[in-house]
A and B are shown apart, each in its own frame.
Chain A
Amino acid sequence: MITITRLWIADKLPAWIFLAGLLSIWQLIVVQGWVASYLLPSPLQIFYTTLELWPDIFVATLSTAQSILWGLGLSLIIGVTSALIFFSIPIARRAILPFCIFFQTVPIIAIAPLLVIWFGYGQPTVNASAFIVSLFPILANTLTGLQETDPQLKELFRLYKPSRWQLVFKLQIPSAIPYIITGIKISAGLAVVGAIVGEFIAGGGLGSLIDAARTQQRVDLVFSGVFMSSALALSLVYTINLITGLLFRHRPYLRNQ
């Protein structure tokens, strides 16, 4: 146990020292007046602002987190389902997938106003925005995983004349799981972006907190919002690791790829 702790410290220590150094230099630059504090507030000032406005920031963060989870959850369900459909019905893939790729190339910031028109101001639009940007990586990764099933294993299965469903559930889906997990991790980062962008336009959450702080020239509050959104993204990835780790704790192959 002691060795593990030591290893962990040896592994993480350089990053913490670097962070501490960086914050100290930042603090020094601002305190010495080399950069105006209305352009770049000091780390301590950002910290105090966050403490002071914590109730508001907390509510905003919670609302953004909710939208991210909505968007990501929907993406997971719809992405995996449509990948399965595309995989089993090649004609559907050939007909629809090109348009999915086209849809993927349209920037979310350009679609967001349209979403406001359809869903109005507020959370539904933000959810939709988080969903739209996070759908494609999960869909594409799942489809790749299904298609890249090891042909040698497929031949092995064929020896026993499996049914179509046996092939799907015993071979193809397990083969795709590492890909799906990768897709979720990519989508998690994107869902945060989608939610914040959605909130810039439709209001609510950290997005509108940052936007409002900008109009009031509260750079310290902008920083608070920025840090909270990256904290959200990080804890999301951490939670995903935790869940997949627990879900496949007896199948290391499926989570470690």
Chain B
Amino acid sequence: MPSIEVQQLEKSFSSNAQALFAGLSFTVDSDECLCLLGPSGCGKTTLLRLLMGLEKPSRGTIKMDPALDAEMSYVFQEPRLVPWRTCLENVLLPLELTAQNNPAARHRAIELLQNIGLSDRLEHFPDQLSGGMQMRVALARALITQPKMILLDEPFAALDERTRFHMQDLLLEFKARLQLQYVFVTHSISEAVYISDRILLLDNRGAARDIRSLPFSERNQSVKLTPAFNAIVSEYSSLFSEMEDSMKKADAGQSKL
């Protein structure tokens, strides 16, 4: 059974605005990590919010594997840490709200923070951390509930390159270790190629190009230097610009009318 099954999806925010996705359909298999890629305004974030249930579709259906439905986590574009809570308390928040906060959970949270290199920051407040550290705490908060699926909305977009690479590897490590599945929104082609098994390239009229698995069994940052990786990135880049061009042309045509 696929993890996610989207059929004939459409979303409009007001009655006169053009609908997003115009009948988009796709499925995500139970062992796949998917990237949503596309120019700004194409609805990547909206699609992710629809998957999480933060928005309701205007038309069409989204079916989640029931085994997965209750075990999903979400990482927002910004860390969204609660400013009056320490790192540790922020990570424990989901458990507190679902009445699962116990000594064992606390132990797990500390372990998780150790894993992401913040063991000496347990009692620090968000405003005492750098942006990269805050994002790592947000990732730990999403992982503390031991989800099977995690939805991430451009989580590393605001980070500097080095931190971003580090975070990508961290995510891949969690994927391997915890059998974690994720849907990842990004506007960086190389990031998409690096961390996903499959890419869904969206444009703003609902057409989506489905690009199949990437042939890397072993992933580490040095992969990014190989010709094969770069060939794929440049191929997708031209697809991406083609798509942007046709979007611009369509917009221009529409404004003439």
Binding site for B on A (CB under 8 A): 152-153, 155-162, 166, 170-171, 174, 251-254
Complex CA gap A160/B80 in Å reads: 14
Cβ of B184 < 8 Å from any Cβ of A?
no
Interface residues of B in 113-146 (CB under 8 A from A): 125, 127
Cβ of B76 < 8 Å from any Cβ of A?
yes
Cβ of B74 < 8 Å from any Cβ of A?
yes
> In the complex, how many angstroms separate the beta carbon of B156 from the nearest chain A beta carbon?
18
Which of B74, B82, B84 neighbours the largest number of chain A CB atoms within 10 Å of its CB? B84
Complex CA gap A152/B82 in Å reads: 10
A-B contacts, 23 of them at CB < 8 A, read A152-B76, A152-B78, A155-B76, A156-B76, A156-B82, A158-B54, A159-B52, A159-B73, A159-B74, A159-B94, A160-B97, A160-B98, A161-B97, A162-B97, A166-B96, A166-B97, A170-B96, A170-B97, A174-B84, A251-B84, A252-B125, A253-B84, A254-B84
Cβ of B83 < 8 Å from any Cβ of A?
yes
Complex CA gap A252/B74 in Å reads: 28
Contact of B97 among A153, A157, A174 (CB under 8 A): A157
Closest 7 CB pairs of A and B: A160-B97, A253-B84, A162-B97, A253-B83, A156-B80, A160-B94, A251-B84
Q: Hey, which chain A residues are within 8 Å of B76, CB to CB?
A: 152, 155-156
Contact of A253 among B52, B74, B98, B127 (CB under 8 A): B127
Q: Hey, which chain B residues are within 8 Å of A171, CB to CB?
A: 82
**At the interface, is chain A mostly helix, strand, loop or mixed?**
helix
A-B interface contact total, Cβ < 8 Å = 39
Q: A153-B80, A157-B97, A159-B52 are in contact. List 10 more A-B contacts (CB 8 A).
A: A152-B78, A155-B54, A156-B80, A159-B54, A159-B94, A161-B97, A170-B96, A251-B84, A253-B83, A253-B127
Complex CA gap A174/B125 in Å reads: 15
Q: Hey, which chain A residues are within 8 Å of B73, CB to CB?
A: 159
Which of B76, B78, B93, B96 neighbours the largest number of chain A CB atoms within 10 Å of its CB? B93
Contact of B82 among A153, A162, A166 (CB under 8 A): A153
> In the complex, how many angstroms separate the beta carbon of A167 from the nearest chain B beta carbon?
9
| Chain B, residue nearest A156 (CB) | B80
Q: Hey, which chain B residues are within 8 Å of A161, CB to CB?
A: 97-98
Complex CA gap A174/B96 in Å reads: 16
Q: Hey, which chain B residues are within 8 Å of A252, CB to CB?
A: 125
Q: Hey, which chain A residues are within 8 Å of B74, CB to CB?
A: 159
| Chain A, residue nearest B82 (CB) | A153
Q: Hey, which chain A residues are within 8 Å of B54, CB to CB?
A: 155, 158-159
Complex CA gap A173/B80 in Å reads: 18
Q: Hey, which chain A residues are within 8 Å of B97, CB to CB?
A: 157, 160-162, 166, 170
Interface residues of B in 77-103 (CB under 8 A from A): 78, 80, 82-84, 93-94, 96-98
